[in-house]
Amino acid sequence: METDIELIARVIASDDHKAFGRLVQRHQSSVRRLWLRLTRGNGDLSNDLAQDTFIKAYRKLSSFRGSGSFPGWLFRIAYNNFLEFCRKEARAKKLLEAEQSIAYDHTVETGIDARLDIEKALALLNLNERTAITLCYTYGMSHSEVARTMDIPIGTVKSHVTRGKEKLAKRLKAWKGKTIA
């Protein structure tokens, strides 16, 4: 199986659409999951923005220098694409500012899937905390890789991760105790 670097070289050298298709197949699930988290579970919007991310990646592929991982470079495009979307769309602004007004049913019942609780709790975090935690814990990126992806200082990444984890723990504990805030 060809590496990402080999596929990228083929795309750049001969505009090989099949090679780029393999890159998309290899990374589309992780990009779509990132988008789902950034958009707080909006599947249609996530799919549209993921497609736009790959279009932008194709156009910018010659700028990939290989100093980091291809997924990290791709997540950077996705994150910048999301920030651009937020600046342009009033409805996206509501996603960023609606921290406490998310209409979730917080009824805790026995047997509720813990993964759904985590997704709901993640959706309550602000964009920077949600993004930093997702990149670190879902995709295993280091703090320095996240800092490059989000274009923020590493200390800020650490702060976002720490605050986000504290908020997640507090929210999940409250839900477990059926004392929803």
The DSSP line for the chain is ---HHHHHHHHHHH--HHHHHHHHHHHHHHHHHHHHHHTTT-HHHHHHHHHHHHHHHHHHGGG--SSS-HHHHHHHHHHHHHHHHHHH-HHHHHHHH-TT---------TT--HHHHHHHHHHHS-HHHHHHHIIIIIS---HHHHHHHHTS-HHHHHHHHHHHHHHHHHHHHHHHTT---
The answer to whether residue 148 sits within a structural domain is yes
Q: Are both 84 and 116 inside the same structural domain?
A: no
Q: Residue 147 is part of which domain span?
A: 109-181
Q: Are residues 78 and 30 in the same domain?
A: yes
Indicate whether 70 and 21 sit together in one domain.
Answer: yes
pLDDT tens per residue, range 36-68: 988 888 899 899 999 999 999 999 999 998 888
**Pair 28, 72 in one domain:** yes
Structural domain contains residue 103: no
pTM above 0.75, yes or no: no
Q: What is the pLDDT of residue 83?
A: 86
